[in-house]
């Protein structure tokens, strides 16, 4: 399975069992580690503290998140030995994503899939409802969609928006990056996150790491290409004498 296949599989399972923000971050952290190692190793040896620092949670929360990912067949886990050998994780690569045995207690009501107590203001807006009350669909840069998303789903929307627009967070990329997350189908996961700002910035930082890597790789290829071109020019000049 490809990286994208694994991501899609996660979201299909998530639709059935409703993972928390920490559980989501933990799975994507393991995916990122595997990807950084070019998927050469099926077994990933990662200390608990490393993962807890990455997802930003306490040990009990981390252990529960790991248990849930194992329970729903997303990863396997083998305990480490004291402090000498770190736990071993393996990302399960399977086409199956339907959960056969999900108890009724684990299936939350459709009108409140997160189990959180929201005010009437906190309702996830669907595309078909964006332009009710006679509003027409106008072409725009997407900023209205982003602002409406936060204002309709969070009581402290202005505070969240302000933090994300900070130059040390998303800054001027605020609207575009949020539209990118919406396109990836992460709207509901953001609403469910215990810390929506931290959840969004987790993916923003991973995206920046990937862009930085791609830029570095592109520049490296360019440098190597320039060196080869100079070498060929030198050889050609020599042979043409």
Report how far apart, in Å, the C-alpha atoms of 141 and of each of 138, 178, 234 are.
10, 12, 50
Among 122, 91, 99, 141, residue whose Cα is nearest residue 13: 99
pLDDT for residue 224: 60
More confident residue, 44 or 224: 44
| Topology annotation, domain 1-97 | Arc Repressor Mutant, subunit A (1.10.10)
Q: How confident is the model at residue 240 (pLDDT cuts 50, 70, 90)?
A: very low
Phi, psi of 162 (to 5 degrees): -60, -40
Among 179, 126, 114, residue whose Cα is nearest residue 152: 126
- By three-state DSSP, how is residue 241 classified? coil
Q: How confident is the model at residue 84 (pLDDT cuts 50, 70, 90)?
A: confident
What pTM was computed for the model? 0.47
Encode pLDDT of 137-161 as tens digits: 443 567 888 999 999 999 989 999 9
Distance CA 204, CA 212 (A): 12
Domain residue limits, the chain:
1-97, 117-241
Average pLDDT over every residue of 198-218: 71
Give ∠ CA 110-192-97 in degrees, rounded to 5.
65
More confident residue, 218 or 86: 86
Encode pLDDT of 158-194 as tens digits: 999 988 988 778 888 888 888 888 888 888 889 988 8
pLDDT over threshold 70, residue 25: yes
Residue 54 CB contacts under 8 Å (≥ 6 apart), including other chains: 25, 29
Distance CA 83, CA 52 (A): 16
Q: How confident is the model at residue 235 (pLDDT cuts 50, 70, 90)?
A: very low
Distance CA 215, CA 228 (A): 20
């Amino acid at each position: 399975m490809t990286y994208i296949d694994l991501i899609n599989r996660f979201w299909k399972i998530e639709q059935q069992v409703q993972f928390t923000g920490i559980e989501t971050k933990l799975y994507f952290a393991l995916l990122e580690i595997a990807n950084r190692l070019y998927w050469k190793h099926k077994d990933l040896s990662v200390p608990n503290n490393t993962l807890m620092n990455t997802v930003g949670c306490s040990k009990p929360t981390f252990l529960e998140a790991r248990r849930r990912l194992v329970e729903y067949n997303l990863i396997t886990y083998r305990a480490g030995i004291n402090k000498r050998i770190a736990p071993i994780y393996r990302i399960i690569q399977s086409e199956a994503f339907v959960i056969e045995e999900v108890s009724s207690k684990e299936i939350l009501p459709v009108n409140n899939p997160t189990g959180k107590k929201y005010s009437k203001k906190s309702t996830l807006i669907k595309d078909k409802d964006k332009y009710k009350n006679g509003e027409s669909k106008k072409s725009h840069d997407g900023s209205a969609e982003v602002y409406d998303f936060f204002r309709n789903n969070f009581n402290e929307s202005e505070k969240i928006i302000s933090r994300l627009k900070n130059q040390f967070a998303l800054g001027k990329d605020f609207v575009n990056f949020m539209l990118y997350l919406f396109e990836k189908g992460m709207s509901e996961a953001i609403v469910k996150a215990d810390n929506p700002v931290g959840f969004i910035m987790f993916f923003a930082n991973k995206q920046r790491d990937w862009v930085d890597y791609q830029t570095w790789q592109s520049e490296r290829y360019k440098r190597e290409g320039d060196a080869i071109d100079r070498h060929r020019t030198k050889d050609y000049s020599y042979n043409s004498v």
